[in-house]
Homo-oligomer: A and B are copies of this chain.
């Protein structure tokens, strides 16, 4: 090091101490974050729902195939669009035959990290969701298992795919197996983000605004619900703890949430807490898509859940943090498979 005048070393010393103090605070923030959140696993397989290459291949085709539904013009990917990070940019989607879905499309990316599925938690896991969707009047329109299987059976390319995915079953083409295969595919759809790199120890993976936002996200109290591997998706919570949500979101109709499933008064206006992974890519927001932009959604949540009025600067920092939860689209989702060839009907 070149020799410096005394006053300069003094200034640099002060600067170095400040830097060290800042670094210490940053380390503390990172450690705190590591206790609250968890990085994504490499996939979402479980003992009950294993992932095999053959199930994923079959499930991926089925996910993109509209020939299963009543008019053969809607697939899982009609609402869970790759181009919109597994959502559809609509407040609420239209199902088959112009039948409206009652709630907003949550992304299917990382959905296997969620403790239950659907806004009201009335699907126990991904496989249950797929299974019920296959004969749902809104999602599929097909009356029963026979109708769905007939569609698949007339496409010659599917039989070998089912055989390969479920080699020990004499009749593998069933709704249960469709659900297992699509579930296996969806359990591969993880989107590691800059925030995961940060959690893994790479401090530089988050820009300064995102780190400031993370701190505010923690200190404002958002982490009471949005925590764990999904940054949400781990519990139920009332929407509108401090204030009725619809008075702030303008929601119409007013959705009673899980109450309509359980009839338990404690479940009035209760919803599954949404995962915030890829939230910047999946507007509009909330169970009814009633709020169009992320800054507005952040302010609404702070107000109705925590009684906090966020200013614009803090809101933008939190948005910067939320943007660090955007991962790369998985290649096997971004790219459509070439489907087994065959006329729909």
A91 x B335 contact (CB < 8 A): no
Whether the Cβ atoms of A329 and B334 lie closer than 8 Å is: no
A339 at the interface (CB under 8 A from B): yes
A118 at the interface (CB under 8 A from B): no
- Tell whether, in the assembled complex, residue A91 and residue B336 are in contact, meaning their CB atoms are under 8 Å apart: no
Interface residues of A in 40-72 (CB under 8 A from B): 64-67, 71-72
Interface 9-mer from A14-22, A80-88, A194-202, A255-263: A80-88
B334 and A335 contact, CB distance less than 8 A: yes
> Interface 1/0s, chain A 287-311, versus B by CB < 8 A?
0010011000000000000000000
Q: Mark A171-201, 1 if CB is under 8 A from B, else 0.
A: 0000000000000000000000000000000
* Nearest B-chain residue to A81, judged by Cβ: B336
Contact for A71 among B78, B94, B344, CB less than 8 A: B94
Contact, CB under 8 Å: B329 / A85 = no
- Size category of the A interface is 35 or more
Q: A83-B337, A334-B336, A335-B335 are contacts. A342–B283 as well, Cβ < 8 Å?
A: yes
A219 within 8 A of B: no
0 or 1 for each of A315-345: is its CB under 8 Å from B? (1 = yes): 0000000000000010000111111011111
| A172 CB, nearest partner CB in chain B, Å | 22
Tell me, in angstroms, the Cα distance from A334 to B85 when the chains sit together.
Answer: 16
A240 sits at the interface (CB 8 A)? no
How far apart are the CA atoms of A283 and B65 in the complex, in Å?
14
Task: For residue A130, give the distance in angstroms from its CB to the closest CB of chain B.
Answer: 18
21 residue pairs of the A-B complex, CB under 8 angstroms, read A65-B83, A66-B81, A66-B88, A72-B89, A73-B78, A73-B88, A73-B93, A82-B336, A83-B338, A83-B339, A88-B344, A89-B342, A89-B343, A90-B343, A90-B344, A280-B341, A281-B338, A283-B343, A292-B342, A329-B338, A335-B335
Tell whether, in the assembled complex, residue B83 and residue A284 are in contact, meaning their CB atoms are under 8 Å apart.
Answer: no
Whether A98 sits at the interface, judged by CB under 8 Å, is yes
